[in-house]
Chains A and B, each alone.
Chain A
């Protein structure tokens, strides 16, 4: 995968932690999944089945999941934007620092492509940072999928690819988790009148 593509995939992940609107975050996620899918198709081996699996993953992650997320968005309209816990620059600085830390700490993994290796690990932790730093439930779900995209970036770069069972099984698991999380998001919105998870802080010891 070209360095520019890998950098663009990371930049889209970092952008999710900055943007204000949930719709923009979903669009960014969709673009990230699309670039990742395009890269995977480029890397797919000569077997037709490699293309088929890469196409299924691309269709689900870049089209089906964003459609589901947009549907949830429509059903959970906010009266006004959920106030962020910290400013966008602080969030970006935090996620950027985390990404740099990953770059510094990740040992050579054996792909022979240090940029992809480091970016993939950094993206997983940027996804985790989105989950921690963003308050709306839907944005936390987007963070989870950004982390999964980081993992997928490394997975598609494995010579010969991951076994189909793992690749398609992980996709099925992702769809299950996103479907359940979407149901939760609707229910949380129905219960609280907002998707602000900051209000879900009743359980403390």
Chain B
């Protein structure tokens, strides 16, 4: 399979990018839907083939091309983005039927939605493959325009607010990150594009002057943190996740945020020789995100907003794992990205029937869903249980690995704070499950949501099985050659 990698590395982004252009020429909404299904399945199949090839290489060195770098981490993140993108594309026709046209006219709405969705997905699929920091920055910035339009797709005032905030704050953050990249380019004369290749940066890092390297690292990390939504620069995150259409929320939370975390991780591994205590910056963002997120998990929030704060918590957990940087912690990070992706996406897909069942759930916490719709309640329960880290959730195992990695790294105090925050977060989500899913239904609306329930049952079964498979795989992860390769970084 390795000889197919260069072809796949081009095809995987090219196919959704071509779909984004082609869908605009579709003569009808039905034709756009059909193209969506076909292109999504094909794109995901190719991306998963590429991911499987990367993962099967174990501890062999990364595959380099002129513009790509494919290692074990690329494999994990590419697989997650492929699966979440596929599921989001498959549930999009139902979302569009239920959601009306919003910002755009009815005639253009569906085609523009698909065009933006595929442009966004194509860019996301390219990020884990790109072998150059400058090119990765261009890709990350390119996600902003399409995803901001998708966030504000409903055209409602709250969606405009969320989309505008997301656009302005993340663009500003990325300007700061690019400033850091320019500082790095100055520090590496004679420069040139390939001086910013991940492996070239890692090779040059020991020779970089300490102060400019530290300054560049801090600027890049601070800028990326604004796009990841790490506290304290997370203001856009709950708004964008709660106002976007559910399939887009899933992509934002389960694919975009981890993809940018991967970029931050690569920056750390490449620049670590030049920057003392690089891990401490990650640990700082991680603890801040956990501490900010946990109180919100206790509040009776609307369903998608609760999931958004859970994203903040989980991005914090990933930051901790990368900050600890030991093989155990990095094994936990790989498992956590995959587990969080599946569980969070399922949670957002459950919002579709939930909002049909109880439209007020967009504004207030859900209540008594189990009495009205067993499939919706099951999906919400699987998602919440997994996100809370309730065994056999893979997130229980991944958090355990990350915390043990922290102990291994001699960061006992950080681990102690993280354990308390995670325990409180667990109880908060359990409380949300008891009240929102199992409790008494509030209000008088008792409509049942038949449409879309069969789809949700299929998604719950598929993603739930995926979560169990991850738990099983996670148990064998520590000590596996793939983990040694993760710890070695991009060289």
Q: Are A154 and B138 in contact (CB under 8 A)?
A: no
Minimal beta-carbon separation of B260 from chain A (angstroms)? 15
Q: Of B175, B179, B186, B301, which contacts A144 at CB under 8 A?
A: B175
Residues from chain A with a CB closer than 8 A to the CB of B144 are: 173, 176-177, 180
Residues from chain A with a CB closer than 8 A to the CB of B182 are: 151, 154-155, 158, 162
Q: Are B215 and A201 in contact (CB under 8 A)?
A: no
Q: Of A110, A128, A180, which contacts B167 at CB under 8 A?
A: A180
Point out which of A147, A150, A166 has the most chain B C-beta atoms below 10 A from its C-beta.
Answer: A166
Residues from chain B with a CB closer than 8 A to the CB of A120 are: 179
Q: Of A162, A166, A187, A203, which contacts B243 at CB under 8 A?
A: A203
Q: Are B187 and A109 in contact (CB under 8 A)?
A: yes
Q: A202 an interface residue at 8 Å Cβ cutoff?
A: yes
Q: Are B212 and A192 in contact (CB under 8 A)?
A: no
Cα(A77)–Cα(B193), bound, Å: 44
If A158-B185, A163-B134, A200-B164 touch, whether A170 touches B215 (CB-CB below 8 Å) is no
Cα(A128)–Cα(B176), bound, Å: 9
Minimal beta-carbon separation of A31 from chain B (angstroms)? 20
Q: Are B161 and A144 in contact (CB under 8 A)?
A: no
Chain A at the B interface: SS class = helix
Point out which of A154, A162, A176, A187 has the most chain B C-beta atoms below 10 A from its C-beta.
Answer: A162
Residues from chain A with a CB closer than 8 A to the CB of B161 are: 200-203
Minimal beta-carbon separation of B360 from chain A (angstroms)? 16
Within 8 A of B (CB), among A119-137: 120-121, 124, 127-128, 131, 137
Point out which of B103, B165, B186, B187 has the most chain A C-beta atoms below 10 A from its C-beta.
Answer: B186
Q: Are A184 and B178 in contact (CB under 8 A)?
A: no
Q: A188 an interface residue at 8 Å Cβ cutoff?
A: yes
Residue of B nearest to A106 (CB): B215
Q: Are B172 and A200 in contact (CB under 8 A)?
A: no
Q: Are B296 and A158 in contact (CB under 8 A)?
A: no
Residues from chain A with a CB closer than 8 A to the CB of B135 are: 165-166, 169
Q: Are B157 and A197 in contact (CB under 8 A)?
A: no
Residue of B nearest to A156 (CB): B182
Q: Are A203 and B239 in contact (CB under 8 A)?
A: yes
Q: Are B148 and A184 in contact (CB under 8 A)?
A: yes
Q: B299 an interface residue at 8 Å Cβ cutoff?
A: yes
The interface bits of chain A over 135-170 (1 if a CB of B lies within 8 angstroms of the residue's CB, else 0) are 001001100100110110011001110110110011
Residues from chain A with a CB closer than 8 A to the CB of B158 are: 202-203
Q: Are B163 and A184 in contact (CB under 8 A)?
A: yes
If A108-B211, A176-B142, A202-B161 touch, whether A187 touches B103 (CB-CB below 8 Å) is yes
Residue of A nearest to B175 (CB): A147
Q: B338 an interface residue at 8 Å Cβ cutoff?
A: no
Cα(A172)–Cα(B123), bound, Å: 15
Q: A191 an interface residue at 8 Å Cβ cutoff?
A: yes
Q: A205 an interface residue at 8 Å Cβ cutoff?
A: yes
Residues from chain B with a CB closer than 8 A to the CB of A202 are: 157-158, 161
Q: B98 an interface residue at 8 Å Cβ cutoff?
A: no
Q: Of B137, B164, B175, B212, which contacts A197 at CB under 8 A?
A: B164
Q: Are B191 and A163 in contact (CB under 8 A)?
A: yes
Q: Are B178 and A151 in contact (CB under 8 A)?
A: yes
Residue of A nearest to B308 (CB): A205
Q: B110 an interface residue at 8 Å Cβ cutoff?
A: no
Residue of B nearest to A128 (CB): B172
Cα(A179)–Cα(B146), bound, Å: 11
Residue of B nearest to A151 (CB): B179
Q: Of B149, B165, B175, B211, which contacts A107 at CB under 8 A?
A: B211
Minimal beta-carbon separation of A103 from chain B (angstroms)? 14
Minimal beta-carbon separation of B419 from chain A (angstroms)? 25
Q: Are A205 and B238 in contact (CB under 8 A)?
A: yes
Residue of A nearest to B190 (CB): A160
Q: B145 an interface residue at 8 Å Cβ cutoff?
A: yes
Q: Of B157, B178, B190, which contacts A170 at CB under 8 A?
A: B178
If A108-B212, A203-B158 touch, whether A124 touches B186 (CB-CB below 8 Å) is no
If A128-B172, A201-B161 touch, whether A187 touches B212 (CB-CB below 8 Å) is no
If A170-B178, A205-B305 touch, whether A158 touches B163 (CB-CB below 8 Å) is no
If A108-B211, A121-B179, A131-B172 touch, whether A187 touches B167 (CB-CB below 8 Å) is no
Cα(A172)–Cα(B301), bound, Å: 39
Q: Are B186 and A187 in contact (CB under 8 A)?
A: no
Within 8 A of A (CB), among B147-175: 148-149, 152, 155, 157-158, 160-165, 167-168, 171-172, 175
Q: A90 an interface residue at 8 Å Cβ cutoff?
A: no
Q: Are A158 and B186 in contact (CB under 8 A)?
A: yes
26 CB contacts below 8 A, A to B, read: A109-B186, A109-B187, A110-B187, A110-B209, A120-B179, A124-B175, A127-B175, A147-B175, A150-B179, A151-B178, A151-B179, A159-B189, A159-B190, A160-B191, A162-B185, A172-B138, A176-B145, A177-B167, A181-B171, A187-B152, A191-B155, A197-B164, A200-B164, A203-B161, A203-B238, A205-B301
Give 10 nearest A-B pairs by CB, closest first.
Answer: A163-B193, A200-B161, A107-B211, A169-B138, A173-B141, A180-B145, A176-B145, A166-B134, A203-B239, A147-B175
| Residues of chain A having any CB pair with chain B under 8 Å | 106-111, 120-121, 124, 127-128, 131, 137, 140-141, 144, 147-148, 150-151, 154-155, 158-160, 162-163, 165-166, 169-170, 172-173, 176-177, 179-181, 183-184, 187-188, 191-192, 197, 200-203, 205
